[in-house]
Amino acid sequence: MSTDGDSETMPRFNHVAMSVPSELLQERQRRDILNFYGEVFGWSEMPTMTEDGTRLVLRCHSNEQFVYLVHSPDVEPMTCPKGDHFGMSVATPQALDDILDRARKFAETDARVEISERQTDDFKVLQLHAVYIRYLLPMQVELQCYEWAEGFDAQRMA
């Protein structure tokens, strides 16, 4: 399969699924998750999918992009080493900083928020800005911003 196919026929990422303990999906902790990811990332609950103690689906700005949290008594809850994550990107360094500021503000009142140092890697054709943020879930979110040099972008190399 060619990597240069048209966007309508190429697969794309649409969700991340995590097995979690039932307690994480009970009303109080579910509310904590919704408050954090709503305030910091702008995600919202897909309420028709919620089942107390069993399932929570976080809509990530589209009905086709979501984080699926589920408890099953037959499955061990997911655990991850600190570096395991899923990535999301924003259009500008300022958008990244705005989200980072909201996460830091939330962390002032909730010690369960984990935030890495913001970093920028210089790849000559790309300045890659990134920060890792985690709250209650087994995986952290790596938030990135791609700043391309003139003549380069996500679809082409000059």
Q: Report the CATH number that the domain containing residue 45 is assigned in CATH.
A: 3.10.180.10
* 94 assigned to some structural domain: yes
Question: What 8-state DSSP symbol labels residue 77?
Answer: P
* 115 assigned to some structural domain: yes
* CA-based R_g, the chain, Å: 17
Q: What is the pLDDT of residues 17-59, one digit of tens each?
A: 999 999 999 999 999 999 999 999 999 999 999 999 999 999 9
pTM summary value: 0.91
- The range of the structural domain enclosing residue 89 comes to 15-148
For residue 67, which of 31, 34, 105 has the smallest C-alpha distance?
A: 34
* 44 assigned to some structural domain: yes
Q: What is the pLDDT of residues 98-150, one digit of tens each?
A: 999 999 999 999 999 999 999 999 999 999 999 999 999 999 999 999 999 99
* 5 assigned to some structural domain: no
Domain count, the chain: 1
Q: Tell me which amino acid residue 59 is.
A: R
* 9 assigned to some structural domain: no
Decide if 135 contacts 112 (C-beta within 8 A). yes
Q: What is the pLDDT of residues 61-108, one digit of tens each?
A: 999 999 999 999 999 999 999 899 999 999 999 999 999 999 999 999
What CA–CA distance (Å, rounded) separates 138 from 41? 17
What CA–CA distance (Å, rounded) separates 111 from 89? 25
For residue 13, which of 75, 89, 113, 120 has the smallest C-alpha distance?
A: 89
* 1 assigned to some structural domain: no
Question: Residue 158: its pLDDT value, please?
Answer: 63
* 10 assigned to some structural domain: no
Helix (H) or strand (E) holding 98: helix 93-107
* 154 assigned to some structural domain: no
